[in-house]
Structure 1
Amino acid sequence: MRGISRYVLFVFAGVGIYFAVFPLVFSRAQSSPASLFLGPSAGTYVVGSTFTVSIFVNTNGASINAIQADLKFPSDKLQVVSPSAGKSFIGMWVVQPAYDNRKGSIKFQGALPNPGINTNAGLISEVTFRVVSVGTAVVRFEDSSRVLLNDGKGTDILGQTTGGFYNLALPPPAGPAVSSPTHSDQEKWYANRNITLQWGSDEPVTKYSYVLNTQPVDIPDDIPEEPLRTTQSYKDLADDIYYFHIKALRGGSWGGVTHYSIKIDGSPPARFKIEINPAARTVTRRPVIGFQTTDALSGVDHYELKVVSLTPSEAPGVDNRTAQNFFIEANSPYIPELQLGEYDVFVRAFDKAGNYAQEIQRLVITDALFNIIQEIGMNFGGNFVVPWAVIWGVGVLLLLFALFFAYRYYRWHGRIHERREAGQLPEEVQRKLEELRLLREKYKGMFLAFACLAATLWAFHAPVPANAQSESGVASPPIITQVSKNITNREIFYAGGTAVVPNSAVTLFLQGYETGETISASVTADTNGEWFYTHPKLLPSGTYSLWAQARTGEVLSPPGPQVTLTVSSAALQLGTSRLSYEAVYFLIALALLFLLLLVGLFALYHWRHGKRKHQKFLEDVREAEESIHRGFAVLYRDIQLELSLIRKAKETGNFSEKERLQEERILRDRTIYRERNLGDRKGKVNLRKYEIILMYEILKNKSA
């Protein structure tokens, strides 16, 4: 029993160890990605030769069953002779290996039967390239490449790819030794389009045959060049990569060929735009300056940047020492630390031949208020600027509308006030009063209606309450290559350029066309012959002529080419002070806004007080109409009483012709005035109300 227990214990321990270790091993296999790589991954090969590159896979301990390897190569430097599928562990090609020498692409896609393959250097295929041009060729795997795990799910475990870097050169010289005083380095790009070549040989040479073209490898013909020379010049060549091929005739037979390359790029990089974020006019003092361009032939080598302040250093709150007057090498994006003011940002893009393209962008660092107020208008929502002309036009239009409504409210208020002061009632009310007066003349003794009306009219003519009132040398001259453009009389003037002699003294002359006054200033060129000058004061508006002279020791150069400079007026000169036009435009807009506010308050005042008086006037009219209704009700009641008396006389037989005519007139008047004044539903209600009041008064008098 003890042996059996020990055996069972060992079995369980083994099973436990297996289940504990196997997941770790499996997870390690899962976590180790596969890789694709080339062999050899580097090398140097001559133009015209071929070399073979092998494609390998490392599964890192995992079993795989499918591979897709897509390669990219420079078609101007390499061409595929043929991809070889003979030496490969791939059991079945899903798609036959294919290549495209025009696009520079190669594609392999294959699969393996179960259980796949586990390898650290499995050969997928081989590719043979032919070298067609000098330079550096990079062969890389594309992102579409995949290595699929044999797990039934097709899991892609490719984690790393390693391409190849190959140096492609001309064949070693087999003929005369060639050199060039103008283009000495065959790997370097030159901006000089004029070539001078020299050659020689240690052995006696009878003749030479040579040719200059764009073919990396070529053999000159057997026609010797006359006369015999050891130097040759070519002028004004186009931008390209040229190859000089030469061979020598010795002892009646032609020798080997020497190939010499010349790279010419005399064109600057492409024009580009300087992007400033968040905007070229911003409140942030750390703007982001971005720049990017391309060069068609030699490629972009580096960028240089310079920030020049246009704001006088004596201006309050401004320190233009945060800007630099010299170029520094910089990368995009570039983030400077600047103070309030205006700046010109210079960016130079250099290609590998030393040519450069220069761009300039104006940058304004301002506070929040003046970020909205600009010289051309007001900035709303980033880049949306409303011109001052539009703002003024809208302001004047609103002011005219406000004046129109203010005038109307003023006249309306005045009419309401006059009618209340004069006690003037509406025409309808006046007509009813006149009819009531005529009836009174017809029917004497009816004083109750006129008494009520008199009391109402007395209240109508009462004075307005107080709270309703209103409230109340010979040396070469320096060349000017940089000058501040589009500046105004509130921005600093600057100029820069190059001098032929490094560290020479450069004198600048600035003459005003209108006044003829000439000012001068001196600056020293640096070791590269570049110089830069910033004027310490603001220039008055006008047109100026600018030129420069250089002094080297006692030798003074003649004046250089003149540059015309125009300083526009962007500020009003008030004594020694300047008021910018954007401030003037803003003040005009504020004045319009102030006038609009005043007119609006004026219109609001007359509208409120006119409305209040109009309501009081309507209340007085309603009271007058109420009194008229009461007068007609009383009059109607009296007519009814008179008719009842006439009917009693008619019943007794004591009814004369005069009384008959009086009855007809009373009936006619009752019908007419009832229809005119008491015919509507409201009139009937009022009649019934006043009849009840009158009956109450009669009964009260009788009881008294």
Structure 2
Amino acid sequence: MRNNFTILREKDLRTCVKVFLAASFVLVFVFFDRVHRAEAATLYFSPATGSYTVGKSFPVSVIVSSPDRAMNAAAGVVLFPKDKLEVASISKTGSIMSLWVQEPSFSNAAGTVNLEGIVLNPGFTGAVGKVLIINFRAKQAGTAAISFSSGSVLANDGNGTNILNGLGTATFTLSSEIYQAGAPDAPRVTSPTHPDHDIWYSNNNPQFEWPLASDIAGVNILTDRNQSTNPGTNSDGLFSSYNYKNIEDGSWFFHIRLKNGIGWGDVAHFGFNVDTEKPEHFEIQETWRESLANPKVSFTFDAKDKTSGIDHYEVQLDDEKSNIWKDDGTHVYTVTVKNPGKHELVAKAVDRAGNFLASIADFSVEALEAPKITEYPHELKSGETLIVKGTTYPNIEVLVWLQRGKEDPIVETVRSGGDGTFTFVASKRPENGIYMLWAQAVDSGGAKSNPSEKVTISVEQSAFFQLGSWLIAFLTILISLIALIILIIIMLWYASHKLSQFKERLKREVKGTEKDIHKAFDVLREGIRVQVKLLEKAKTARQLTEEEEKVIKRLKRDLDQAEQFVENKIEALEKEVE
């Protein structure tokens, strides 16, 4: 009974182990398959379907899709039915390839197109990367299928890992419809909103314009994801521009055909790309550091944009100016901080249409132990050499900062010895003043310490220079006083000289005025005497009235008084001038 039970338990145990191992294998397979698929790339054709007329040409693009991992090389052999199609030309316009291992070539006899190109670092990451344009010409009605007989897409990882996971196919319907001679040519389409078909735009309201000749009677338009769709023969009206509203994200093609009195003309196809959504995922993770004091910090950038793909990153450290970084395929961004402490890294993952998603990573850089200043002079005479000693890590660079008052500090570099001691000898002898000195250690990897404690050093002039300065100051004051006294003497002499000149001039003017007054008074006196004589003469002829007698007496008296007054004033003026 025990043996049967034991045997049963052993069988159950084996069964459980087998189930566990099988489940583990399935989980591992699924995990790696998902990882593989997440980093997979594909080669495909655009458009993958279409209808074309025999005798007409149409373009087919070879596209590489690698949205999650940077690729740097692609190669492939395209097969096409040589009885139904022939290659008219090959175009590299708009290709993501920077170099070609061999120029793209084709053989209409074999029905093959060969391509092999390289994308320079940082490679290409995105959903739509144009490799090549093959311009086919329809030869015979029927169905034409094109495919890849082989292909490869190599990752930009330094190892040339082939990440190709799928090869696309395309099928085209070729008809024998014949366009009537004289029908309109395919119109030349332009777009003021989406002018370049290789660029992604965040505007989802595309506008298209085309010229209309006077004989055009109808316009037929259609927009879809097929590169070469024929919009048909139903007129939508007569107009020379059209504006779509709220187009969904993705790659699109605008098709237009014109009609005149003869019939419908050739179809024009205009490609455009729309991406209005920001990247759906962006996460920043700091990578492992052996030393947390290492100022070189690396981060992995994990960003996804399903439509146009990530184009670049805008990265800013703390308050520094932001810079543009393109992923080299490693998804690793490294920054070097200037000083230890807490820091913030802000990055924007920007897709090819300019939409972005921001992410922030906070991190810290630890500081080395600060140096210690062990010997320094508290006081120093001007002209003496400044020597400071300290300790820190062995064989390390030490930055010594010296600041006088509020001036900008100067920095000099010394190295510590094997025992960690260092000696700083100032390259210039400090002048008098109050100085602050401190030190900072920097190892070979750029890790820094916090500044050491600051020490104060007073620098004064020597006694000889102090005496010299006192003598200079004394002599400066003495010379200044002597110069002031001499200046005052010169000014007094000049004033006296000018006063003497003024007195002489005044004397001359007074004497001249005296003469003029005498002359004027003589004339006045003579006139009055004439009048008096006339009155006295009249007295002999007749008896003067009493009033006339008074007038004569008054004139004589006033004349004598006026003469005496003038004489007194002139005499007083002459005394004042003296």
TM-score by length of 2: 0.34
Which has a greater percent of strand? 2
Structure with the bigger RCO (C-alpha within 8 Å, sep 6+) is 2
Specify which structure has the higher proportion of helix: 1
Q: Give the structure-1-normalised TM-score.
A: 0.28
